Amino acid sequence: MEKPPVVILAAGEGRRLSLGKGVPKPLTKFAGLTLLERAVRMWHKFGFTKFYVVVGHAKEEVTEGAKKIAAKLGVEIIPVENNEWPMGNGTSVLAASQLIDRPFFLQMVDHVFDAKTLQEFLKKTENAEITVLAIDPRVDSVLDIEDATKVKLEGEHILDIGKSLREYDAIDMGLFFCTPEIFESLRKSREQNGGKLSDGVRWLANNRRIKAVVLSTGQWFDIDKPEILRAAEQDLFERIKKSEDGLVSKHLNRQISFRISKRLSSLLSPNPTTGIAFCVALLGALLFTSGSYLATALAGVLIQLSSILDGCDGEIARIRLEASARGAWFDTVLDRYADALISLAVTYNMWMQMRTVWVWLGGFLALFAFVGVSYIKKEFKLRTGQEVKSSVFEKLTKRDLRLFGIFVGAIAGLPYHAMLVIAFITHLWMLHFIWTEMREKFKKGQEKSF
């Protein structure tokens, strides 16, 4: 079944957001992507391919931006001109009436939703026969309550809507499922009041032709001020952090990688970023084979840089809404290759100073630790369906700390010694984990026998 089209209102000027910088609101960057591209990407993530973008202020620039997004994502974007946009966002919806004669979804370009919010809305509007407005009862979490459109409710029915309401129960999220009846309501309300979308919603409410659905599990922002944009980006940053991040990733790497990811997200997709991180690690490994202190120190810096960049691919995937199991698998494969090459290169670096077989024995034990710990954790999850329990001891075995330790060791001129210390800790954790799990299994076996 063909999905309905999506109408994105992108005609406003957005002076409060641009602060006179001349950037049209739809083309304002949010975490590296324009607000318009992020909106299209979010709907496209759920299979929507046809979009009507209503343009007004700076219509040539926004139209050109829309064409580039369409070519990049392989979707259909039809610009709709609205020369009456200063009269209100309702006129933008009416401008689309000349092209749409069936139900459609509608959102404001400056309202940013996470995937969880949109997924919940799509589920709750599956069998809708009248217009539906998404509302959020979490009024205390709205950053600019004065400018927010408030909604007064009676059950799921809307009693009143507007920015100046003194008594209200929820906030209009700027996300709609519309029937063509919305056009009639806007025409009639315009004759009486003006060109605001809320006037049309009020007309539908008075005729019981619109209902509200509560969305309160995801996150969304109305991006109309620079400080709100920064707060929304910080929220995105916090949400894309991995719960399994190691100590170095959490307190150092993520602070740098997110800034890099914001700049790369509009230029690179996740897989090329993974490849870049691997190439930086490979270059670092090659420098270790030189043997000089300067090359060794530079190798350590590159290894730490590769660790930071290794976080960028996942961040870019989540920013661009392109996270996938295949991408995570590709990242894991290249990480293991990088670990092996780094371990061998650091061992060779030491062997040039002390030509004994014991150097290679230590190096192979380190290699086994670094590859083995990843294998043990992933096999445990695959076989049991459970994640390995996180602890301070377990975090000492993570890749971020491993590479950081080699970096510090390289700066001190002792990368091999640092690698052995980390490998020793990793082996201790693996033996402890295996012993603990086998003992637990033995205990459960005994309990079953009684």
Domains detected in the chain = 6-227 (3.90.550.10), 242-449 (1.20.120.1760)
Residue 328 has pLDDT above 70, yes or no: yes
DSSP letter (8 states) at residue 58: B
Question: Closest Cα to residue 268, out of 319, 307, 326?
Answer: 319
Identify the H or E element spanning 8.
Answer: strand 6-10
pTM: 0.82
Q: Token digits for 204?
A: 């539908």
Reported as a pLDDT band with limits 50, 70 and 90, residue 450 is very low
What single-letter amino acid sits at 83?
N
Could you tell me the two tokens for 441? 């299994």
| Tens of pLDDT, residues 135-159 | 999 988 888 888 899 999 988 889 9
Q: What is the pLDDT of residues 83-133, one digit of tens each?
A: 999 988 999 999 999 999 999 999 999 999 999 999 999 999 998 999 999
- Is residue 442 very low, low, confident or very high in pLDDT (cuts 50, 70, 90)? low
Beta carbons within 10 angstroms of residue 242's beta carbon: 13
| pLDDT tier for residue 446 given thresholds of 50, 70 and 90 | low
Residue-averaged pLDDT of the chain: 91
What is the CB-side half-sphere exposure of residue 8 using CA atoms within 13 A? 30
pLDDT at 444: 67
Q: Residue 125 has which token pair?
A: 């509007």
φ, ψ for residue 11 (rounded to 5)? -100, -15
User: Which tokens go with 235?
Assistant: 């929220």
Residue 366: closest CA among 287, 413, 420: 420
Closest to 419 measured CA to CA, from 249, 272, 288 = 288
Contacts of 86 (CB under 8 A, 6+ apart): 56
Distance separating the N- and C-terminal Cα atoms of the chain: 57
pLDDT of residue 448: 56
Place of tokens 């806007």: 186
Closest of 135, 117, 138 to residue 213, by C-alpha:
135
| Percent of the chain whose pLDDT exceeds 90 | 71
**Relative orientation angle of helices 293-319 and 270-288, to the nearest 10 degrees:** 170
**How much of the chain is helix, strand and coil, in % rounded to 5?**
60, 15, 25
Token code pair at residue 16: 């409060």
pLDDT digits (tens, 9 = 90+) for 156-215: 889 999 888 999 999 999 999 999 999 999 998 877 766 789 989 999 999 999 999 999
Closest CA to 274 of 314, 301, 313: 313
